[in-house]
């Protein structure tokens, strides 16, 4: 049956951080639209588990483990991926909690290397081949933490704001070669990364009051947006940072 505007048949998509949470949901959604998914995560066992689950559902998937904190492993991932049509840079870390003044040089290095530099390295290595194949789509996973001030996750927010700017820059650079680059900024989504917040009753009361839809987002709701940007449905969208937060960032909290 034709998938129409969202059809990704005969496309190859690389998803980093695909072992759980958003990455897993994105990998599953891309596969459901016919893409051959290259599943990447730091732990080989997580990669294999995700790839096995996709194959069990009748999809095609290949596991390629890589620690994106290590440039040599990023280069190995680029070589193993070969020619791709869709790149989803989802892997990242939260980094230290607390004010920016408490973050040390090692904290800055780690958060920016994993959250930002790894995405830039992957784009540098993979976008030329994508252009040679006739074009493609890149989605960088940003966050609403990069859209407003944050007193406890400042480094994370800085790295995510930079990813949105990276998407804009690359969209301008690569648009003439039919490569689209966008960012997606989720709000609070029900993932393992958010589990501590989801269990904090006072935080949740404040957050839901500030969210017009009055609920937490689900991973599949972010994955659907990624599929749109990866497919023909998003063919005239580039350089955009698409916010998926139930309205949190536009609300007055009333």
Active-site residue set: 156
Contact assessment for residue 144 and residue 185, using Cβ atoms and an 8 Å cutoff: yes
Based on the number of CB atoms within 10 Å of its own CB, is 251 exposed (0-12), middle (13-18) or buried (19 or more)? middle
Contact assessment for residue 141 and residue 163, using Cβ atoms and an 8 Å cutoff: yes
Cα distance from N-terminal residue to C-terminal residue, the chain: 45
Nearest partner of 79 among 14, 24, 28, judged by Cα: 14
Residue 212 is classified by DSSP as T
What tokens were used for 98? 């607390």
What is the enclosing helix (H) or strand (E) of 214? none
* CA pair distance 202, 153, nearest whole angstrom: 18
Contact assessment for residue 101 and residue 28, using Cβ atoms and an 8 Å cutoff: no
Contact assessment for residue 22 and residue 222, using Cβ atoms and an 8 Å cutoff: yes
* CA pair distance 55, 8, nearest whole angstrom: 16
Nearest partner of 38 among 74, 92, 87, 71, judged by Cα: 87
């Amino acid at each position: 049956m034709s998938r129409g505007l969202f059809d990704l048949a005969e496309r190859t998509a690389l998803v980093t951080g695909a072992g759980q949470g958003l990455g897993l949901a994105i990998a599953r959604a891309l596969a459901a639209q016919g893409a051959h998914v290259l599943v990447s995560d730091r732990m080989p066992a997580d990669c294999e588990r995700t790839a096995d689950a996709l194959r069990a559902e009748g999809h095609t998937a290949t596991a390629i483990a890589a620690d994106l904190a290590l440039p040599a492993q990023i280069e190995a991932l680029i070589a193993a991926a070969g020619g791709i049509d869709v790149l989803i840079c989802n892997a990242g870390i939260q980094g230290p909690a607390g004010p920016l003044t408490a973050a040390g040089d090692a904290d800055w290095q780690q958060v920016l290397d994993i959250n930002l530099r790894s995405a830039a390295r992957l784009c540098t290595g993979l976008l030329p081949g994508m252009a040679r194949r006739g074009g493609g789509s890149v989605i960088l996973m940003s966050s609403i933490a990069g859209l407003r001030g944050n007193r406890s996750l400042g480094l994370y927010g800085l790295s995510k704001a930079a990813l949105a700017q990276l998407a804009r820059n690359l969209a301008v650079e690569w648009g003439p070669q039919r490569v689209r680059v966008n960012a997606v900024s989720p709000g609070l989504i029900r993932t393992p990364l958010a589990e501590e917040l989801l269990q904090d009753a006072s935080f949740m009361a404040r957050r839901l009051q500030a969210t017009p839809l009055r609920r937490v987002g689900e991973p599949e709701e972010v994955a659907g947006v990624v599929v749109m940007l990866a497919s023909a449905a998003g063919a005239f969208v580039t350089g955009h940072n698409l916010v998926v937060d139930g309205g949190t960032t536009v609300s007055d909290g009333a």
